[in-house]
């Protein structure tokens, strides 16, 4: 009997493969995403292993020390004279400061032979250093330091006792890049300049036909004679693999994070599948009722429907996996079009089978609740007319009680989260709050639809009858609306939470940057001498704007406690300075006899707004605190004073801040350096630090939004399939509406609006859940980030979600509009 029941259900599925695809579309997308992630990991790992080249391909043996002293010249000589060795290159990086000893930019000097198989660089212009006190710089360093071939640089060794050395730049090269500016020279010249004769690592090129194992043995024997030496000798190949593995490891963490987002997407897919099957079974209600009437048992129906779910899951899962595999194979060709080299992912059969089976299980699980509901159909339903089927009542009492219970549990755990602030359990409680809160949302969803609709739907009501029909259409079927909207809400909850978290991070970064990097460029003079000429020259140069002189000095509190810096600068002169925020008092109230304190200085001095503090240095200044900043003062100073008060403090040294108005940063920097500053002046590119911080925040934002976008995409698929299936189900209803005078265009508009409303309701629910969750997280994890409500971004999320769901509903809407009015009259 079960087999017969199964056959009746499955034959329907097989007769309409398109509908099968529609039912399982969310599972297909989820399988694609999961397997796509597996393949992406394979591609990234392989590409890294294939192309990672910190050790040149030609290197056959590497000798290196792990901690302890570098390989000294005798050890290097021992390596050089080992049988079979053709060439050796010491590897070392020495850091120098360009300009003054206590100031200026860092320059990393790396050892490289310059030519031959052991070299990692290529010469662009000039010649590679061949004599002492010669270096080659990379193009970035040349731009930043304003040097050309034949120019000179004054280098200070990191150890301050060493005298500065003047070197000649003989060439410009291209080489592996880093955040620091780089220069290159042969190993002996680097050693001579740095005064450190040893190398922590030596790369060895074997002669033709050399016996590598024998060579390694020979070297080990010579180098390991001293048992306290921390020297290792290995092949170039194993070194390359080790370096690549270390590089791949950083992706492991990244992919662990990705896996978490993918898991959320899978949950979303299961929810979408559940809601889709609910609709599909509702359409078959009369057929199922007929089966019950002629004697099919309830559990037979459940089994048949669950098997159908599993079949749909297996088929769509397979399609998803195959599509992902095809995309994986296409990746190298696609990357090649953009000039990038990417390795093919291979065919991970085990993972593919696991994903397909997982899709089957997931779908069978997702289908259970609707299957039980559908199997509970009364046999009498077979005899009733269709019009009574579409009606929906509210939610059952057990569901309501369960939902309220979950709300209570959520509240309880949230309370625990706040109580365990900062502890390691806080994160666990936080996850619990989210999970139970979402569970409550699933159960109570139908009750929440109408109140939210009353708010979210009012603009649509103004769209005339189509809008009003859409709003009533959703209000009349709250359970279906809730089932779809909750999936959208899952995605939006995560998105809204992330957006709030990142906005807080951004605000914090902005505040920090306003104090740390108030300008693009800064110049700090060594002595007391004025920079008036420099200021005048910079102001006359159209490449700069907001040229602002300042002076700074050190002070300590009266009782000889902490030392802080004090600065005198016009707080209204630069855009970034104007963004400084006070947690108490008014920054603009600064004047003679007044002081603005940083948060730390205020707490060290134990002073509040309105109190008088004594700042002590060469002289003593008493000033009234008019404002306390949220963080540091400009350039991380502890106090902002007027110039006269700073003079009274004594020992002030001048400086200049400037923003770049036009032209590139490297060019502006060279001009800034060349503005005639006295000797010993330090120049800092504050804009670099700011860009780095901004870049980190915005790439974090882009990555999180991109990954969470997957969940929203699956939710949109859910809205699309729900709308599509409900169009099939509501043919009579649409036919009737057309018979009564609803035009095609308006019918399309109405269905599109219904789909958009699913998205909008989900977005509202998601924001209502996600924003408090994010605040709770910020508070309980003690990240010391300010709480924000990025209303603009949240509104954008709601708008984009609604738009995506409208688009998802458009295709079914077009089909529905083709319904002939006669369909309303067709006997069913």
Partner 1 sequence: MSAVTATDLVKIYGTGPGAVRALDGVSATFDRGRFTAIMGASGSGKSTFMHCLAGLDTVTSGTVTIGDTELTGLTDRALTGVRRDRIGFVFQAFNLLPALTARQNITLPAELAGRAVDQDLFDHVIDVLGIGDRLGHRPSELSGGQQQRVALARALSTRPDVIFADEPTGNLDSRSGTEVLGFLRDSVHRLGQTVVMVTHDPNAAGYADRVLVLADGRIVEDTTR
Which residues in this chain contact partner 1 in the complex, by CB under 8 A? 385-388, 390-391, 464-465, 468-469, 472-477, 732-733, 736-744, 746, 820-822, 824-825
Smallest distance, partner 1 to C-beta of residue 754, A: 10
Helix/strand/coil for 286: helix
Closer CB to partner 1, residue 105 or residue 485?
485
Cβ-contact 86, 207 below 8 angstroms = yes
Which pair of structure tokens corresponds to residue 670?
Answer: 């060279």
Closer CB to partner 1, residue 151 or residue 821?
821
Smallest distance, partner 1 to C-beta of residue 732, A: 5
Largest CA distance in the chain: 104
Q: What count of other Cβ atoms lies within 10 Å of the Cβ of residue 420?
A: 16
Which pair of structure tokens corresponds to residue 307?
Answer: 């098997």
DSSP string, 291-310: HHHTT--HHHHHHHHHHHHH
Smallest distance, partner 1 to C-beta of residue 472, A: 5
Smallest distance, partner 1 to C-beta of residue 13, A: 27
Closer CB to partner 1, residue 31 or residue 747?
747
Q: At what angle do helices 744-780 and 791-817 cross, to 10 degrees?
A: 150
Smallest distance, partner 1 to C-beta of residue 26, A: 25
Cβ-contact 79, 63 below 8 angstroms = yes
Closer CB to partner 1, residue 254 or residue 825?
825
Closer CB to partner 1, residue 285 or residue 523?
285
Closer CB to partner 1, residue 689 or residue 825?
825
**Close Cβ partners of 446 (under 8 Å, ≥ 6 residues apart):** 394, 395, 478, 479, 481, 482
Closer CB to partner 1, residue 330 or residue 822?
822
**Close Cβ partners of 434 (under 8 Å, ≥ 6 residues apart):** 493, 773
Smallest distance, partner 1 to C-beta of residue 764, A: 20
Residue with structure tokens 């052991």? 118
C-alpha distances in angstroms, 254 versus 247, 257, 328, 440, 700? 12, 5, 19, 31, 11
Smallest distance, partner 1 to C-beta of residue 450, A: 12
Smallest distance, partner 1 to C-beta of residue 453, A: 12
Which pair of structure tokens corresponds to residue 483?
Answer: 């089932």
Closer CB to partner 1, residue 340 or residue 384?
384
Closer CB to partner 1, residue 12 or residue 465?
465
Which pair of structure tokens corresponds to residue 579?
Answer: 């963004």
Closer CB to partner 1, residue 175 or residue 465?
465
Closer CB to partner 1, residue 434 or residue 446?
446
**Close Cβ partners of 519 (under 8 Å, ≥ 6 residues apart):** 546, 548, 574, 576, 657, 658, 659, 686, 687
Judging by beta carbons within 10 Å of its beta carbon (0-12, 13-18, 19+), is residue 748 exposed, middle or buried? buried
Map 624-691 to HEC letters. Answer: EEEEEECCCCHHHCCEECCHHHHHHHCCCEEEEEEEECCCCHHHHHHHHHCCCCCCCCEEEEHHHHHH
Smallest distance, partner 1 to C-beta of residue 818, A: 11
Smallest distance, partner 1 to C-beta of residue 486, A: 20
Smallest distance, partner 1 to C-beta of residue 298, A: 24
Judging by beta carbons within 10 Å of its beta carbon (0-12, 13-18, 19+), is residue 83 exposed, middle or buried? exposed
């Amino acid at each position: 009997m079960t087999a017969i029941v199964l056959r009746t259900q499955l034959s329907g599925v097989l007769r309409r493969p398109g509908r099968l695809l529609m039912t399982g579309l969310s599972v297909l997308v989820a399988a694609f995403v999961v397997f796509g992630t597996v393949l992406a990991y394979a591609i990234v790992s392989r590409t890294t292993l294939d192309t990672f080249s910190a050790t040149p391909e030609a290197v056959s043996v590497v000798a290196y020390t792990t901690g302890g002293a570098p390989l000294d010249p005798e050890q290097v000589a021992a390596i050089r004279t080992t049988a079979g060795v053709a060439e050796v290159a010491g590897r070392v990086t020495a850091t120098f400061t360009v300009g003054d000893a206590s100031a200026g930019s860092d320059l990393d000097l790396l050892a490289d032979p310059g030519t031959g198989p052991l070299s990692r660089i290529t010469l662009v212009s000039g010649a590679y250093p061949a004599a002492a006190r010669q270096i080659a710089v990379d193009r970035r360093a040349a731009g930043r330091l304003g040097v050309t071939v034949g120019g000179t640089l004054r280098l200070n060794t990191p150890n301050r006792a060493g005298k500065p050395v003047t070197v000649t730049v003989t060439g410009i090269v291209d080489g592996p890049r880093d955040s620091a500016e780089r220069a290159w020279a042969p190993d002996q010249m680097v050693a001579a300049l740095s005064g450190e004769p040893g190398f922590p690592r030596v790369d060895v090129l074997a002669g033709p036909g050399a016996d590598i194992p024998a060579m390694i043995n020979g070297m080990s024997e010579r180098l390991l004679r001293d048992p306290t030496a921390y020297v290792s000798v290995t092949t170039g190949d194993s070194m390359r693999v080790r370096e690549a593995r270390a590089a791949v490891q950083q992706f492991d963490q990244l992919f662990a994070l990705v896996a978490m987002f993918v898991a959320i997407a899978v949950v979303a897919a299961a929810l979408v599948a559940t809601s889709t099957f609910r609709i599909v079974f509702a359409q078959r209600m009369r057929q199922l009722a007929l089966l019950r009437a002629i004697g099919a048992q309830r559990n037979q129906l459940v089994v048949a429907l669950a098997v159908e779910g599993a079949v749909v899951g297996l088929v769509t899962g397979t399609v998803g996996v195959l599509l992902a595999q095809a995309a994986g194979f296409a990746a190298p060709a696609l990357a090649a079009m953009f000039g990038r080299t990417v390795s093919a992912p291979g065919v991970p059969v085990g993972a593919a089978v696991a994903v397909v089976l997982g899709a089957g299980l997931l779908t069978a699980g997702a289908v259970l609740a609707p299957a039980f509901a559908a199997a509970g159909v009364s046999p009498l339903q077979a005899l009733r007319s269709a019009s009574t089927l579409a009606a929906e009542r509210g939610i059952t009492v057990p569901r309501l009680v369960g939902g309220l219970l979950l709300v209570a549990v959520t509240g309880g755990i949230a309370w625990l989260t706040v109580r365990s602030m900062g502890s390691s359990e806080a994160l666990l409680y936080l996850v619990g709050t989210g999970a139970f809160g979402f569970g409550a949302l699933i159960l109570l969803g139908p009750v929440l639809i109408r109140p939210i609709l009353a708010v979210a739907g009012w603009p649509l009501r103004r769209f005339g009858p189509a809008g009003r029909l859409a709003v009533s259409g959703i209000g009349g079927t709250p359970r279906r609306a809730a089932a779809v909207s909750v999936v959208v809400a899952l995605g939006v909850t995560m998105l809204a939470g992330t957006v709030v978290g990142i906005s807080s991070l951004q605000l914090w970064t902005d505040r920090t940057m306003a104090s740390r990097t108030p300008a693009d460029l800064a110049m700090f003079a060594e002595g007391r001498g004025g920079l008036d000429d420099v200021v005048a020259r910079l102001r006359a140069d159209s490449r700069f704007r907001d040229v602002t002189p300042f002076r700074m000095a050190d002070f300590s509190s009266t009782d000889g406690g902490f030392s802080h810096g004090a600065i005198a600068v016009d707080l209204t002169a630069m855009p970034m300075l104007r963004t400084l925020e006070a947690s108490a008092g008014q920054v603009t109230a600064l004047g003679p006899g007044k002081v603005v304190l940083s948060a730390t200085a205020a707490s060290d001095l134990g002073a509040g707004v309105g109190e008088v503090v004594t700042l002590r240095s060469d002289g003593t200044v008493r000033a009234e605190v008019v404002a306390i900043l949220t963080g540091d003062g400009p350039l991380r100073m502890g106090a902002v004073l007027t110039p006269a008060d700073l003079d009274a403090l004594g020992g002030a040294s001048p400086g200049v801040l400037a923003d770049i108005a036009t032209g590139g940063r490297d060019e502006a920097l060279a001009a800034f350096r060349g503005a005639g500053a006295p000797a010993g002046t330090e120049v800092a590119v504050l804009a670099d630090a700011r860009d780095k911080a901004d870049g980190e925040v915005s790439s974090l934002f882009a990555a999180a939004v991109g990954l969470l976008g997957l969940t929203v995409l699956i939710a949109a698929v859910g809205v699309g399939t729900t709308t599509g299936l409900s169009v099939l189900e509501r043919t009579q209803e649409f036919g009737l509406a057309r018979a009564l005078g609803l035009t095609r265009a308006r019918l399309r508009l109405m269905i599109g609006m219904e789909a958009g409303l699913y998205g909008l309701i989900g977005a509202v629910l998601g924001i209502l859940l996600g924003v408090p969750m994010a605040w709770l997280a910020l508070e309980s994890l003690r990240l010391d980030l300010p709480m924000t409500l990025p209303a603009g971004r949240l509104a954008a999320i709601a708008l984009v979600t609604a738009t995506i769901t409208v688009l998802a509903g458009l295709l079914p809407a077009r089909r529905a509009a083709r319904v002939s009015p006669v369909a309303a009259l067709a006997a069913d």
